[in-house]
């Protein structure tokens, strides 16, 4: 309950100031902005809420969600289920579009999709449907690795990969809301860190330039 209250406090503070806070990419903290119904760890979330490493995000068939941190902008399309981490999102079902300058990756089962270079902005899209992944390199090259082999998808190209070993684990019924997973905010240590983040949040809000939280074009 305390964890949910903290998330809500951060989200309300940001909405009231109309400012997007770009948390450092390696902090394990991001902001989630929603358009329509969405959940974090099985709990319905408002328009804006803090997102922590290990959190599970789900969107309904008529909703979208936008995950933002420093150098990272992930658009979670409708009817999708993802788990956020410091350097990656695990796509369990649906579709995501990633814009990153930090080498942020997407995992689909055993497949890892990562920008080939962190020297420039990379944009790519990954779709997962019942164990079949479609990868599109929109800007910059991508590296695909499944543990056995590695290949490159050049900018402007797309490929499809099957991952039968994880198909059963990743199949989810449309609209099923994940149960609470006991994320990072459940630990006393994380609550202490959260208090520190809140105390520094006002400073971040004052120094960062305003931007449109609904825009997927700026990581």
- pLDDT, tens digit (0-9, with 9 covering 90-100), for 190-211: 444 343 444 444 333 333 333 4
Using the predicted structure, report yes or no on whether residue 93 has a pLDDT greater than 70.
yes
The answer, yes or no, to whether residue 80 has pLDDT greater than 70, is: yes
Q: What residues form DSSP beta bridges with 95?
A: 127
SS (HEC) of the chain? CHHHHHHHHHHHHHHHHCCCCCCCHHHCEEEEEEECCEEECCEECCCEEEEECCCEEEECCCCEEEEEECCEEEEECCCCEEEECCCEEEEEEEEEEEEECCCCEEEECCEEEEECCCCCCEEEEEEEECCEEEEEEEECCEEEECCCCEEEECCCCEEEEECHHHHHHHCCCCCCCCCCCCCHHHCHHHHHHHHHHHHHHHHHHHHCCCCCCCCCCCC
Euclidean distance between CA atoms 49 and 163, whole angstroms:
33
Contact 22, 70 (CB under 8 A): yes
What would the pLDDT profile of 11-51 be if each residue is shown by its tens digit? 443 343 334 455 555 557 899 999 999 999 999 988 999 99
CA-closest candidate to residue 96, choices 112, 80, 76, 82: 76
Report whether pLDDT(127) > 60: yes
Would you give the end-to-end CA distance of the chain in angstroms? 31
**Topology of domain 2-207, CATH:** Jelly Rolls (2.60.120)
Specify the range with the lowest mean pLDDT, choosing from 110-119, 121-130, 170-179. 170-179
% of the chain surpassing 70 pLDDT: 62
Confidence at residue 163, expressed as pLDDT on a 0 to 100 scale: 60
């Amino acid at each position: 309950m305390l964890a949910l209250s903290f998330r809500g406090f951060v989200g309300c503070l940001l909405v009231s100031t109309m400012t997007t806070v770009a948390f450092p990419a390696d902090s394990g903290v991001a902001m989630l902005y929603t358009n329509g119904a969405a959940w974090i760890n099985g709990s319905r979330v408002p328009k804006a809420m803090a997102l922590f490493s290990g959190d599970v995000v789900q969107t309904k068939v008529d909703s979208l969600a936008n995950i933002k941190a420093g150098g990272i902008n992930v658009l979670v399309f409708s009817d999708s289920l993802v788990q956020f981490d410091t350097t990656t999102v695990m796509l369990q079902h649906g579709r995501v579009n990633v814009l990153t300058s930090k080498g942020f990756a997407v995992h689909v089962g055993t497949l890892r999709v990562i920008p080939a270079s962190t020297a420039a902005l990379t944009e790519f899209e990954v779709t997962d449907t019942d164990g079949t992944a479609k990868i599109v390199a929109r800007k910059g090259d991508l590296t695909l690795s499944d543990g056995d082999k590695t290949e490159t998808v050049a900018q402007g190209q797309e490929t499809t990969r099957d991952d039968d070993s994880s198909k059963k684990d990743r199949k989810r019924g449309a609209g099923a809301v994940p149960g609470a997973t006991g994320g990072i905010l459940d630990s006393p240590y994380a609550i202490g860190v959260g208090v520190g983040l809140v105390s520094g949040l006002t400073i971040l809000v004052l120094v960062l330039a305003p931007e449109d939280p609904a825009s997927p074009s700026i990581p």
